[in-house]
Structure 1
Amino acid sequence: MEFSPTNNIVKLCIQGMDMEEKGNPDEAGKLFMQAWNEATNDFEKFIAAHYVARHQTNVSDKLKWHETGLQLALSINNDMVNSALPTLYLNIAKCYEELGDADNAKKNYELSAAITYKPTDNGPFYHGTRADLQAGDFLTAERRSNYHADVIMNHIYFTAQVNGAGFAAALAQGDGRERVYIVEPTGPFENDPNVTDKKFPGNPTRSYRTAAPMKIIGEVTDWVRLSPVELQKFRDRLAQSKGEIIN
C-alpha cells in the first residue's frame, strides 16, 4: 500500500481540490463522494473520508465522517497515517464542542494534545535528485534546493517510497539523469512539514527531513514513472509555487 499521485482515488481528490480552488464546492463534494464510493481499501477510504467530512454542512454528519476516518487510521496503524491522529482528534473535538457535548470535546482535545508524533519508519529510505553521487558519499544541509535555485536548504529531504523519490528526481532541476539513491539518516528525523497534514491527511507519502548528514548506501533504477503529461502538470504547479515544495 503506497501513496501515489497516479492512484485513481488520489486523482479524484486532487480534482476535487481543484474544484474547491475554482470556487465550485458542489462539484468538489461530488468528486470526494465518488472517491469514497470507488475506494477499494482502507487507505483509500481514509483519504476520501477526510475530504467528504469537510464538505458536510451538518455537524453531526461531519463528526460521523471524521470518526470514520479515525477508525480507518487506527486500523491501518502505520507511518502513512499515524501522523494524522492529532488533527483527527482535534477535528472530532471541535465537532463535539459545536454539538454542546463538553465531555467528549474535552476527551478528544486531550487525546490530540497528548500525541507528540515521532516517525518510527524503518525504511529503506530514498532520495531523488539529478546529482551524480557514489555509495559512501554524504548529503548535507545548507545546499541549494533541487527545485528552486535561490532557496538554501536547512534540511535533507527523503522518503520511504521509491516511487516518490523517483517523482522528486523527475522534478529536480539540472541536466543530469534522474537518480534515486538508497540513503541512511545519521541522526534524528521528522515528518516533512511541507506535506504533512497539508493537501492530504497525515504523511501518506512517508516524507521526512533531517538536519544530519545522509549517507548514500546505493542506487535503484526501477521505479514507476509518471507520463509526460502528468509530469508536466506537476512542473507547472511547481513553477507557480513560492518554494513551499522543496527537496
Structure 2
Amino acid sequence: MDAGPFFHGTKADLKVGDLLIPGFRSNYRPEVVMNHIYFTAVLDGAGLAAEIIPGDGPPRVYEVEPTGEWENDPNVTDKKFPGNPTRSYRSAAPLRIVAERDDWTRLTPEALAEWRTRLARMRDENAEIIN
C-alpha cells in the first residue's frame, strides 16, 4: 500500500484536526449515500476533484491521514485503469485533516468545462459507483 502523504479535495471549509467521515451523498451521483471517504496520494488529483465537484465555495485540498484501515478505490483500480495509477483509496474510517494545501495545479476554464461535461454524461449514463 501507498505510504502517502494523502490528500482529499473538497469545497468544504475545514480546519486542521477536523475529521472527514463517510455517509454523505456522492459528488458524482447525488442519489447515492457513500459508505466510504475517498482520498489520493496525488496532490493534483485531489485538486481536480475539488474543482469539479458541485457546490459553493472555492476548491480546497487537504492533506489527510487515515484513522483506520483503507483499501484501493475499486471505482478506478483495475476497472478503468490497470493497477492503481491514480493512487486512489477509500476508507470506512474517518480521515483526519493535518494541513490545507495550496500548491496544486488549477484547471484552466476550458479543462474545467470539459470535466463537467464528462461528469454530466456519466450521470446521464447512470455510471456505476461501487459503494
Q: TM-score, normalised by structure 2?
A: 0.90
Aligned residue identity for 1:124: P
For CA contacts below 8 A with separation 6 or more, give which structure has more relative contact order. Answer: 2
Task: Return the alpha-carbon distance in structure 1 between the equivalents of residues 109 and 80 of structure 2.
Answer: 23
Structure-2 residue corresponding to 1:230: 111
Aligned residue identity for 2:88: S
Unmatched tracts of structure 1, length 5 or more:
1-119
Higher helix share: 1
User: How much does 1:173 deviate?
Assistant: 0.9
- Secondary structure, aligned partner of 1:143: coil
Task: Return the alpha-carbon distance in structure 1 between the equivalents of residues 127 and 81 of structure 2.
Answer: 19
Q: CA RMSD in A?
A: 1.6
Structure-1 residue corresponding to 2:59: 178
Kindly report structure 1 stretches of 4+ aligned residues shifted beyond 4 Å: none
Q: Tell me which structure has the larger Cα radius of gyration.
A: 1
Structure-1 residue corresponding to 2:22: 141
Unmatched tracts of structure 2, length 5 or more:
none
Query: What percent identity do the matched residue pairs reach?
Result: 63
Higher strand share: 2
Structure-1 residue corresponding to 2:79: 198
Q: How many residues align?
A: 127
- Secondary structure, aligned partner of 1:180: strand
User: How much does 1:243 deviate?
Assistant: 5.1
Task: Return the alpha-carbon distance in structure 2 between the equivalents of residues 159 and 152 of structure 1.
Answer: 20
